[in-house]
């Protein structure tokens, strides 16, 4: 039986859960925290309290509640890892701080990015633009002030007539890193009102009904408590809105396995 968290008639799938933690598939448009009563952590806490039998195995510490181990932008959907006791929170946090967690995304990007051609056995390419701590928006995505090394791996999955679907892996962690690097590459993420063009965002919304950011956190690979080695937590598929935008853009030009 699929366990879900309910919020305003939206069912948020619980991908996996165990003592001290749970991972959910956050929808786009829902902030992770800092919006009491309407953010993911508040909604999860409310569901755990109301469905105590269903979530009994979590053994939530009532004094600790529900806290995110990492962040996703409000506009981004996908895997979010939540801790429900301090010990588990520290256990996961140390992995994120040491950058031992593998984070992969699926993005629908404007334009056609050529796939890697030099080596068919290594389809990954890297964006290497340094980024400042704070971003400057579409006119200055790299940001002002001192910039730090920043690496984003990507591989082309497929092309439609106007878009590229890519799998993306964060090798460093800067604010809005994927969105900023995609803009610097001249292939902004679809639906990106901060780094993309207002005209493109308006067109997608009014003509194609696409009213979200075309970025989805597909998977996290982490070491789980009381288990050997690392485990990959992933969503079952990419969001329907992203898939339909891509598929309705015409026949794919070629296709790689996701």
Count Cβ atoms below 10 Å from residue 149 Cβ, excluding itself: 11
Question: pLDDT band at 118, cuts 50/70/90?
Answer: low
Q: Each residue of 10-21: b (16+ CB within 10 Å) or e? A: eebbbbbbeebb
CATH code assigned at 186: 3.30.2350.10
- Convert the pLDDT of each residue in 164-205 to its tens digit: 999 999 999 889 999 999 999 999 999 999 999 999 999 999
**34 Rama class: left (phi>0) / alpha (psi -120 to 50) / beta:** left
**Of 44, 68, 98, which closes a domain?**
98
Q: Give the range of the structural domain holding residue 237, as residue numbers without chain letter.
A: 103-258
Residue 121 sits in the same domain as residue 55: no
Average pLDDT value for residue range 101-108: 97
**CA distance linking residue 242 with residue 159, whole number of Å:** 13
Residue ending a domain, among 58, 80, 98, is 98
Would the CA dihedral through 93, 99, 102, 103 be positive or negative? positive
Q: What is the pTM of this model?
A: 0.92
Predicted confidence at residue 214, as pLDDT, reads 98
Q: How many domains does the chain have?
A: 2
User: For the segment 227-255, what is each residue's pLDDT rounded down to a tens digit?
Assistant: 778 999 999 889 999 999 998 997 544 44
Distance CA 17, CA 35 (A): 24
What percentage of the chain has pLDDT greater than the value 70? Answer: 95
Q: How far apart are CA 213 and CA 20, in angstroms?
A: 31
Domain end residue (candidates: 98, 129, 150):
98
> Strands 152-159 and 125-127: what pairing?
antiparallel
């Amino acid at each position: 039986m699929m366990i879900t968290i309910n919020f305003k008639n939206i069912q948020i799938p619980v991908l996996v859960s165990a003592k001290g933690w749970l991972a959910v598939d956050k929808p786009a448009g829902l902030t992770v925290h800092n919006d009491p009563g309407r953010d993911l952590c508040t909604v999860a806490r409310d569901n755990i309290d109301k469905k105590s039998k269903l979530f009994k195995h979590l053994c939530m510490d009532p004094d600790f509640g529900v806290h995110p181990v990492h962040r996703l932008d409000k506009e981004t959907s996908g895997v979010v890892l939540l801790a429900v006791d301090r010990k588990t929170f520290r256990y996961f946090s140390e992995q994120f701080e040491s950058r031992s967690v593998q984070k992969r995304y699926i993005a629908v990007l404007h334009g056609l990015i050529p796939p890697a051609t030099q080596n068919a056995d290594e389809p990954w390419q890297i964006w290497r633009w340094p980024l400042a701590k704070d971003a400057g928006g579409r006119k200055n995505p790299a940001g002002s002030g001192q910039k730090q090394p920043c690496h984003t791996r990507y591989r082309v999955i497929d092309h439609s007539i106007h878009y590229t679907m890519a799998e993306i892996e964060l090798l460093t962690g800067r604010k809005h890193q994927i969105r900023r690097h995609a803009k610097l590459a001249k292939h902004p993420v679809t639906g990106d009102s901060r780094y993309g063009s207002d005209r493109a965002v308006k067109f997608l919304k009014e003509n194609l009904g696409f009213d979200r950011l075309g970025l989805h956190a597909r998977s996290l690979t982490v070491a789980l408590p009381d288990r050997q080695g690392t485990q990959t937590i992933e969503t079952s598929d990419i969001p329907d809105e992203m898939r339909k935008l891509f598929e309705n853009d015409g026949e794919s030009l070629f296709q790689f396995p996701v």
